[in-house]
Amino acid sequence: MTTTQLPVAEGLFTWPPAPLRLIGSECASCGLVSFPAATDCVRCASRESKERLLADRGTLWTYTTQNFRPPSPPYDGPEEFEPYTVGYVELPGELVVEARLTEPDPEKLRIGQPMSLTLVPYTVRDDGTEVMTFAFTPEETS
């Protein structure tokens, strides 16, 4: 049986079969990189920007744990909540992105740790459709 998968929102990340990348924007006037993509620049108020695919690797800038189910709405994840980690990942030369982390144990994370972009299940709809979101996973280091 094939599981249908959909992105949590259109325009946040590239969708298979394309290589996975976050979709940001770059202001044509001042060069500010934003995520998610924005048409108006928060720095210079320009209304001219271009789509920019962001780096798929970065370093863990900081992190915390989400130990309780966020309020609904807007949270629409599973009723049976499992704690997870959230971090800020610095994409070199671009920006810092807030994202879920795939490693739930904060003892296994460290600031400065290399991270790479991945997709993870966010929730499963009543019809069995798996809703996917982006996350960062620790890279193997030797």
For residue 10, tell me if it sits in a domain. no
Q: What residues does 60 pair with on adjacent strands?
A: 89
Residue 68, domain member (yes or no): yes
19: which residues sit within 8 A by CB, 6+ positions away? 56
Q: Does residue 104 lie in a domain region? A: yes
Q: Is residue 16 part of a domain?
A: no
Same domain (yes/no): 47, 98: no
Question: pLDDT per residue over 48-101, tens digit each?
Answer: 999 999 999 999 999 999 998 888 877 777 778 888 999 999 999 999 999 999
> Do both 60 and 45 map to the same domain?
no
Residues 62 and 112 in one domain: yes
Rounded Cα distance between 51 and 28, Å, is 10
Our count of domains for the chain comes to: 2
Is 27 domain-assigned?
Answer: yes
By C-alpha distance, which of 48, 54, 52, 55 is closest to 25?
A: 52
User: What is this structure's pTM?
Assistant: 0.90
Residue 71: the pLDDT is: 83
Say if strands 23-27 and 33-34 run parallel, antiparallel, or are unpaired: antiparallel
Angle at 74 between CA 100 and CA 49, to 5 degrees: 70
Same domain, 108 and 49: no
Q: Identify the CA nearest to 108 among candidates 67, 68, 66, 137.
A: 137
> Strand, helix or coil at 38?
coil
Query: Is there a single domain that holds both residue 117 and residue 94?
Result: yes
- Which residue range forms the structural domain that includes residue 45? 22-54
Nearest CA to 14 out of 74, 58, 55, 73 is that of 55
Above 90 in pLDDT, residue 17?
Answer: no
Backbone angles phi, psi at 37, to 5 degrees: -55, 140
Q: How far is the first Cα of the chain from the last one, in angstroms, to the nearest whole number?
A: 38
Question: Domain ends where: 12, 33, 54?
Answer: 54
Q: Are residues 43 and 70 in the same domain?
A: no
CB atoms within 10 A of CB 28: 13
Do 47 and 90 sit in the same domain of this protein? no
The answer to the question of residue 107 being in a domain is: yes
Q: Looking at per-residue confidence, does 48 or 17 come out higher?
A: 48
Domain boundary among 38, 54, 70: 54
Whether residues 41 and 110 share a domain: the answer is no
Q: What is residue 111's predicted lDDT score, i.e. its pLDDT?
A: 97
Provide the pLDDT for residue 3.
Answer: 78
Identify whether residues 26 and 63 lie together within a single domain. Answer: no
pLDDT tens string 87-138:
999 999 999 999 999 999 999 999 999 999 999 998 888 899 999 999 999 9
* pLDDT in the model for residue 141: 64
Position 86, amino acid: V
